[in-house]
Structure 1
Amino acid sequence: MNVLLLFLIVFAPFVFFILRMLRHTRESLGDGSPLVRSVTVTWDRNRFFTRFTVLLLLPLPLMGLLYIGMGVATFVRQPDQVLGAVFLMLLGVATVALVAFIFSQQYRLWKQVRDKRVTFDPGLKTITIAEADGSVVVSSQNVSSIESHIAHRSNKRPDWAFYTFVLTDGRRFSLHDLFLRADDLLESYFSGTAQVLVSHKTIWYEPENDSPIGELCPTTGR
């Protein structure tokens, strides 16, 4: 029993990691890529909160509580080690607070992506963004420019990077990077369309001035 438990603790995360990497490769480069076939992407609760970004945070609250417990135990058993006890407790509180902050950002992000259903058509090179109130189709034919919103001086794409499609009629529709994971997708679908880099100095930023999808959308015949 102990051997089986040890096996699960050690190898289960490794197997999970391998399966997720294979899925990511299939969806970004393989036969499941929107560069190859029509794909619809959604982010329900289970899929969003089982991403590596979230799962890697799970041990940290336990570590924070452990530090706090060690600090309290040190203070009780060794009253002369007050500074060490206080340091451990502060470290624990800081760890828990940091994880709580990151989780709050992830929850805010999930609220922005949970209601979207995005369909990619590599044949027509169109992206259909659907919500409860309607849908809009964007392509190189009706997009004048694409704004890439990222963190200031970021060397990699953060989870809350997003792209804003500015249509020729002035309307704006944004998609978070979670929907656009395939390499070279924008280059393939929007070849020749101007792309503008917009950097943000704040930790959290979100789409602004987006047009309601429920309004009259000539691109969908509504």
Structure 2
Amino acid sequence: MDTLLVFLIVFAPFVWYIWRMLRFTKDTIGGNSPLKVSRTFITTPWNYFFQFEGLFTYYFILIGSFFFKLALFMHISYTEDHPLLVRLWFLAIGLVAMGFGLLVVTLDINHWQYVEGLVIETFPEQRELELTFTDKVLRLREGDIERVHVYHNNNIKFPLAYMHYYLRTGDEFIISPKTKGYWVIDQYFQNLPTEYTRSRFPFIR
């Protein structure tokens, strides 16, 4: 039973990731591409906060809490040299891991308020997109987007970012890379004027 549990913990996420990549490929190229068929993408709390990439954040929090618990309650033999240093070492690891994980969760919550319930619908025949936010609806055509400002941490292994879109009408909106179907904007409207700003933790203020 224990062996099966370890196997599931180690391999199940990777099987899930491969399945998602295959499904993503199927839904983005060929006859099922949003450029050819009408598609609707709805951002929900589940597909926003529980993406495969985001699970590592919760792993950090879990590991951090484990080390934090060890630092406080682990029995250290009296024969161990420098027992206080051992506890401080575990405490430091726990605080760093938990702190980083909680900071990323805070960042996700900060971005969530701009994409909560967002619906992106494609209209391939008209070459248009409709973005339905909680407070407005935007119908986008070629030339409507004036420019894009991308705020990112420039980290390939653990990317954090958001995109700020400015429209020629004076409207604007913010999209997180965790938004369901955000990539169709780039598919429909290519070569947009883009400015990049590096920020270690790109909070929206």
Q: Is TM more than 0.5 here?
A: yes
Q: 1:171 maps to what in 2? A: 171
Identify if the C-alpha distance between structure 1 residues 126 and 90 changes in structure 2 by more than 3 Å, giving closer, same or farther.
same
C-alpha distance in structure 1 between counterparts of 2:192 and 2:60, whole Å = 42
Aligned partner letter, 1:110:
W
C-alpha distance in structure 1 between counterparts of 2:109 and 2:55, whole Å = 14
* Larger displacement relative to structure 2 (39-48 or 70-79): 70-79
C-alpha distance in structure 2 between counterparts of 1:51 and 1:194, whole Å = 27
- Alignment: residue pair count: 200
Q: What displacement does 1:2 show? A: 4.5
C-alpha distance in structure 2 between counterparts of 1:71 and 1:21, whole Å = 39
**What are the equivalent positions in structure 2 for 1:59-208 lying under 5 Å apart?**
59-72=59-72, 73=74, 77=78, 78=80, 80-141=82-143, 143=144, 145-151=146-152, 154=154, 158-167=159-168, 169-177=169-177, 178=179, 179-182=181-184, 186=186, 188-190=187-189, 194-201=192-199, 203-206=201-204
Q: What displacement does 1:163 show? A: 4.2
Q: Gapped runs of 5+ residues in structure 1?
A: 209-222
TM-score, with normalisation over the residues of structure 2?
A: 0.79
TM-score, with normalisation over the residues of structure 1?
A: 0.74
Q: 2:58 maps to what in 1? A: 58
* Residues 57-92 of structure 1 deviation map (CA, whole Å, 9 limit, x = unaligned): 222223223322333325575473222221111211
- 2:38–2:121 Cα contact (<8 Å) kept: yes
Aligned partner letter, 1:44:
T
Identify if the C-alpha distance between structure 1 residues 81 and 5 changes in structure 2 by more than 3 Å, giving closer, same or farther.
closer
Q: What displacement does 1:203 show? A: 1.8
Identify if the C-alpha distance between structure 1 residues 174 and 8 changes in structure 2 by more than 3 Å, giving closer, same or farther.
closer
